[in-house]
């Protein structure tokens, strides 16, 4: 089975990227110049103060050791599951007590030198030794287990939790405390990616409170989950911001979402890497609009689903069809391809999503697809061909690298034969033998007059981003561009 935890984009401010220089300066430079250790005093004051108002924000954004783990060690870490023992409260408290008692013992010893330069050197060396110990022990567990293993039992982390608790008890951090916030839990895909990329290996998606906030004291507010959430619903905000976002986020397209059981009726191979799955359901009340997607449960503990665009929906026979491309080392697709069999019971959630619901009042519509992003357009084009609308012309621009990668080609050709409103344009990037246009979808788009078009795109993020950039440069209003990244 593929790894659960994945290495993913992290948010690096210049400080977060290079603060490890401070760590090495104190931990190693301090062996020659012990006075450097005194720099740790403002660090301790800083982290305790920041924790009072913002929880463990320091750990995720300012801590020089955190920078060492994230910036230097992260590329080489084994990225394994952090043992429960290291995450336990008991171990954290015991380690904090041991560390604290040891530190006080050393302070008392050095205090005999009070009033001399030697006092400051010895005091500095106490901090240098601690910094070096954290660098070595933290570095080793970071490398062997996961980058932020140390942070689960770091005494400074425990100190921050105590300070944060005081802030909460006194109510003084009510407005300053920022937490991971979901714009709407209805829009969550329950995909678990926020957990899979979380350096502290937490599970925000399973623990949002009534204000859609994640209140774990171990959250280091690093925003890794924010930048990796495929539903783009996460942010870091205080309570007031959370309540405002909750109120102002429309849930259009998600209001009929429900969890329902289904049976795998049919599995068909489309090509070497893609399978089609047809699910049969019994529920009479599944409301679907073409362009929406569905969630397929892949495991119970922790609960996780994967999102797939609905490529076919038959309300009479009560079936929903999806096409799944096997991701290299993919966790979810590994489970789907290896364990899903015809006749198996599965749990689905949806239908949901609004980005690709076509505006049927538009004059013209352009659909842009890349790779597996073609799947929702099977259902959308079928709907536009078979049902009345005000749309006068709709075009599908479908990009692939080579001609043999175009999926459902016959299906789209037959739609083009059935409806003279529909134009089907294929573009291949690298195929010398391809008879149609060579290049990327952007090369086709830039030759089109798009003034009266609504544009719907689905494909890999580099494609949707490049196409959006080009459309904006062609003065297409943002309100006329919608996309989903597959
Ligand atoms: C709205 C929506 C609709 C979608 N529709 C479709 C669809 O119709 N068809 C379809 O096939 N997909 C679709 N997707 C994508 C789908 O939801 C899954 O993301 C996809 O199937 C991959 O899931 P996975 O768990 O197998 O991959 P993951 O395990 O999440 O891996 C994703 C990628 O991360 C990388 N990775 C894996 N492990 C590691 C690691 N240890 N370190 C670093 N990188 C790693 C791999 O390159 C892998 O390809 C859609 C997504 C969304 C949001
Ligand atoms: S990453 Fe997935 S599970 Fe987590 S909040 Fe985003 S959509 Fe939900
Ligand atoms: S929940 Fe998000 S912000 Fe908190 S530690 Fe995990 S990835 Fe960072």
The ligand 3 atom at the shortest distance from the C-alpha of residue 226 is: 2
The answer for residues whose C-beta is within 8 angstroms of residue 176's C-beta and 6 or more apart is 53, 54, 238
Pocket test for ligand 3, best of 151, 199, 203, 234 (most atoms within 8 A of CB): 199
Q: Is residue 1 part of a domain?
A: no
Rounded to an integer, what distance in angstroms lies between the CA atom of residue 48 and that of residue 40? 12
Pocket test for ligand 1, best of 191, 296, 327, 356 (most atoms within 8 A of CB): 327
The answer for residues whose C-beta is within 8 angstroms of residue 106's C-beta and 6 or more apart is 126
Say yes or no: CB of residue 234 within 6 Å of ligand 2.
yes
**155 and 243: one domain?**
no
**Do the Cβ atoms of 322 and 311 come closer than 8 Å?**
yes
Rounded to an integer, what distance in angstroms lies between the CA atom of residue 91 and that of residue 272? 49
**127 and 33: one domain?**
yes
Q: Which residue has its alpha carbon closest to ligand 2 atom 6?
A: 229
Say yes or no: CB of residue 191 within 6 Å of ligand 2.
yes
As given in the structure block, the two tokens for residue 165 are: 């608790």
State the CB neighbour count (10 A cutoff) for residue 350.
25
For 192, the domain range is 178-248
Instruction: Tell me how many degrees the CA angle 57-61-62 measures, rounded to the nearest 5.
Output: 100
CATH number of the domain within which 371 lies: 3.40.50.80
Task: Measure CA of the first residue to CA of the last residue in the chain; give whole Å.
Answer: 22
Q: Which residue, 168, 192, 209, sits at the end of a domain?
A: 168
**325 and 410: one domain?**
no
Q: What is the pLDDT, as a whole number, of residue 126?
A: 97
Say yes or no: CB of residue 146 within 6 Å of ligand 1.
no
How far apart are the CA of 130 and the centre of ligand 2, in A?
Answer: 38
**333 and 280: one domain?**
yes
Look up the pTM and report it.
0.93
Q: Which residue has its alpha carbon closest to ligand 1 atom 9?
A: 324
Rounded to an integer, what distance in angstroms lies between the CA atom of residue 230 and that of residue 485? 8
**Do the Cβ atoms of 109 and 171 come closer than 8 Å?**
no
**61 and 159: one domain?**
yes
The ligand 1 atom at the shortest distance from the C-alpha of residue 484 is: 1
The answer for residues whose C-beta is within 8 angstroms of residue 130's C-beta and 6 or more apart is 40, 99, 103
Q: What is the pLDDT, as a whole number, of residue 398?
A: 97
Q: What is the dihedral of CA 349, 351, 356, 358, to 10 degrees?
A: 180
How far apart are the CA of 482 and the centre of ligand 1, in A?
Answer: 21
Q: Is residue 142 part of a domain?
A: yes
**419 and 465: one domain?**
yes
The ligand 2 atom at the shortest distance from the C-alpha of residue 190 is: 3
Q: Which residue has its alpha carbon closest to ligand 2 atom 4?
A: 194
Domain count for the chain, please give it. 4
Please name which ligand lies nearest the alpha carbon of 190.
2
Say yes or no: CB of residue 207 within 6 Å of ligand 2.
no
How far apart are the CA of 6 and the centre of ligand 3, in A?
Answer: 14
Q: What is the pLDDT, as a whole number, of residue 270?
A: 96
DSSP 401-457: SSGGG--SHHHHHHHHHH-TTEEEEEEESS-TT-SS-BS-HHHHHTTS--TTEEEEE
Q: What are phi and psi of 382, to 5 degrees?
A: -60, -45
Beta bridge partners of 484: 458
Say yes or no: CB of residue 231 within 6 Å of ligand 2.
yes
CATH number of the domain within which 286 lies: 2.40.30.10
**Do the Cβ atoms of 305 and 298 come closer than 8 Å?**
yes
As given in the structure block, the two tokens for residue 416 are: 């083009």
How far apart are the CA of 330 and the centre of ligand 1, in A?
Answer: 6
Q: Which residue, 248, 274, 297, sits at the end of a domain?
A: 248
**86 and 62: one domain?**
yes
Beta bridge partners of 428: 400, 438
CATH number of the domain within which 199 lies: 3.30.70
Q: What is the pLDDT, as a whole number, of residue 11?
A: 81
Taking only the tens of pLDDT, the chain with its 486 residues reads 678 999 987 888 999 999 999 999 999 999 999 999 999 999 999 999 999 999 999 999 999 999 999 999 999 999 999 999 999 999 999 999 999 999 999 999 999 999 999 999 999 999 999 999 999 999 999 999 999 999 999 999 999 999 999 999 999 999 999 999 999 999 999 999 999 999 999 999 999 999 999 999 999 999 999 999 999 999 999 999 999 999 999 999 999 999 999 999 999 999 999 999 999 999 999 999 999 999 999 999 999 999 999 999 999 999 999 999 999 999 999 999 999 999 999 999 999 999 999 999 999 999 999 999 999 999 999 999 999 899 999 999 999 999 999 999 999 999 999 999 999 999 999 988 998 889 999 999 999 988 888 999 999 999 999 999 999 999 999 999 999 877
**433 and 296: one domain?**
no
Q: CA nearest 208: which of 353, 229, 199?
A: 229
Q: Is residue 217 part of a domain?
A: yes
Q: CA nearest 63: which of 48, 82, 79, 76?
A: 48
Rounded to an integer, what distance in angstroms lies between the CA atom of residue 368 and that of residue 455? 7
Q: Is residue 2 part of a domain?
A: no
Pocket test for ligand 2, best of 9, 190, 228 (most atoms within 8 A of CB): 190
Crossing angle of the two packed helices 117-133 and 89-110, in degrees rounded to 10: 160
């Amino acid at each position: 089975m593929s790894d659960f935890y994945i290495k993913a984009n992290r948010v690096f401010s210049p400080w977060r990227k290079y603060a490890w220089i401070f760590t090495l300066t104190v931990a190693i430079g301090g062996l020659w110049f012990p006075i450097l250790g005194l720099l740790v005093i403002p660090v301790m004051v800083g982290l305790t103060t920041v924790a009072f108002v913002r929880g463990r924000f320091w750990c995720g954004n300012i801590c020089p050791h955190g920078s060492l783990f994230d910036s230097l060690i992260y590329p080489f870490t084994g990225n394994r599951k952090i043992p429960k023992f290291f995450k336990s409260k008991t171990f954290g408290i015991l380690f904090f007590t041991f560390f604290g008692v040891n530190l006080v013992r050393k302070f008392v010893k050095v205090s005999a030198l009070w009033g001399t330069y030697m006092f400051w050197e010895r005091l500095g060396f106490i901090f240098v030794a601690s910094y070096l110990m954290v660098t070595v022990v933290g570095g080793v567990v970071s490398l062997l287990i996961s980058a932020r293993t140390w942070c689960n039992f770091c005494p400074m982390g425990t100190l921050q939790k105590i300070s944060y608790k005081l802030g909460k008890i006194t109510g003084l951090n009510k407005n300053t405390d920022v937490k991971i916030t979901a714009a709407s839990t209805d829009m969550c895909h329950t995909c678990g990616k926020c957990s899979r990329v979380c350096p502290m290996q937490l599970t925000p998606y399973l623990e949002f409170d009534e204000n859609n906030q994640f209140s774990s004291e171990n959250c280091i507010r690093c925003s890794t989950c924010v930048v990796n959430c495929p539903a783009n619903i996460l942010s870091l905000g205080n309570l007031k911001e959370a309540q405002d976002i909750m109120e102002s986020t429309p849930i259009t397209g998600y209001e009929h979402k429900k969890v329902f059981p289904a049976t795998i009726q049919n599995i068909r191979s489309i090509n070497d890497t893609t399978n089609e799955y047809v699910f049969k359901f019994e529920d009479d009340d599944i409301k679907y609009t073409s362009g929406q997607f569905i969630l397929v449960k892949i495991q119970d503990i922790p609960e996780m689903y994967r999102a797939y665009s609905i490529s076919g929906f038959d309300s009479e026979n009560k079936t929903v069809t999806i096409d799944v491309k096997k991701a290299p080392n993919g966790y979810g697709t590994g489970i789907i391809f290896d364990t899903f069999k015809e006749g198996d019971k599965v749990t689905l959630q949806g239908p949901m999503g609004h980005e690709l619901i076509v505006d049927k009042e538009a004059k013209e519509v352009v659909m842009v697809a890349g790779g597996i992003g073609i799947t929702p357009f099977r259902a959308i084009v079928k709907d536009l061909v078979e049902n009345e609308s005000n749309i006068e012309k709709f075009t599908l621009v479908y990009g692939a690298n080579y001609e043999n990668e175009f999926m459902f080609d016959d299906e789209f050709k037959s739609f083009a034969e059935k409806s003279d409103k529909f134009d089907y344009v294929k573009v291949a990037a690298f195929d010398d033998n391809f008879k149609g246009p060579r290049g990327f979808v952007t090369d086709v788009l830039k030759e089109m007059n798009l003034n009266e078009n609504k544009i719907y795109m689905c494909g890999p993020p580099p494609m949707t981003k490049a196409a959006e950039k080009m459309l904006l440069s062609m003065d297409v209003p943002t309100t006329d561009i919608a996309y989903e990244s597959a």
